[in-house]
Amino acid sequence: MHKVCPFCGEELPDLRSGSLEAKLEQLIEEAELDPTPENPHAMLLPFTRFISFCAQHLHEEKGLETARREGWPLEPDFDALPQRVRNLKPELEAILEDPDSSTFFVLAKNSRKSGGSGVLRTFQTFGKQGAAYYGQKGFAVLADTLRAVFPQGSIPHGITASLDYWGLVEEVLIPEAAILLIMQDKNVSEEKAREIHEDSRSFGVMQHSVDDEGH
């Protein structure tokens, strides 16, 4: 068993997921041996072929350790999320009544005022939104539920004049809902939940990707 990644040289986790081991075996079959003094088992492949593998093994080595230490849920109950989000309607309605009270709304609105492209706006807001440790899978569940709870026609005109409907859902309502969920999950203050929201985002993206099957 490889102890060191043959592509990036970082240590591989002793306990590995089945998907990580399968990816390693597949990449080794494609790669050419390219030993170095530091890593006699180093192998050569185009960067684009192994970058996702390296991201995954770093996550399994360090991301999971951080999550366990911080007490972030490794297997959230995604089936319960829709009802939990529906129960947050009063709190989210309060935000829609006073959107400038939301730092996410102000951030999204200002990113559009700057006149940047969609790509630039994404860069400006990257890491500040999302569904925290619920990841991409949770993001999708929250998006579907919030669009049902707050259909486009129900949004006050004053908001849609500053921010389009999809931007409101993805850049404001989803992160605000995620913070409220974190407050419930961890029994913490809003301030602490905002810290967790930011700190756990990359973990969530890796742990619960959109093609994740719950493993």
What is the amino acid identity at position 80? A
Q: Which residue shows structure tokens 């079959």?
A: 29
Question: Which pLDDT tens digit goes with each residue over 68-91?
Answer: 999 999 899 999 999 999 999 999
Q: How far apart are CA 164 and CA 170, in angstroms?
A: 10
User: What residue ranges do the domains of the chain occupy?
Assistant: 18-70, 78-207
pLDDT at 50: 94
pLDDT at 191: 97
Question: For the ranges 110-114, 125-129, 163-167, 186-190, which has the lowest average pLDDT?
Answer: 125-129
C-beta of residue 28 within 8 angstroms of C-beta of residue 6: yes
Q: Could you tell me which residue, 213 or 54, shows the higher pLDDT?
A: 54
* 45 has pLDDT over 80: yes
* 125 has pLDDT over 60: no
Q: Could you tell me which residue, 145 or 56, shows the higher pLDDT?
A: 145
What SS3 state is found at 33? Answer: strand
Closest CA to 180 of 80, 63, 91, 115: 91
Question: Which pLDDT tens digit goes with each residue over 132-187?
Answer: 999 999 999 999 999 999 999 999 888 988 899 999 999 999 999 999 999 999 99
pLDDT at 114: 60
Q: How far apart are CA 138 and CA 136, in angstroms?
A: 5
* 54 has pLDDT over 80: yes
Task: Summarize the confidence of residues 100-119 as an average pLDDT.
Answer: 77
pLDDT band with cut points at 50, 70 and 90 for residue 100: very high
Task: Summarize the confidence of residues 30-39 as an average pLDDT.
Answer: 92
Q: Which residue shows structure tokens 């807001």?
A: 125
Q: Could you tell me which residue, 120 or 144, shows the higher pLDDT?
A: 144
* 92 has pLDDT over 70: yes
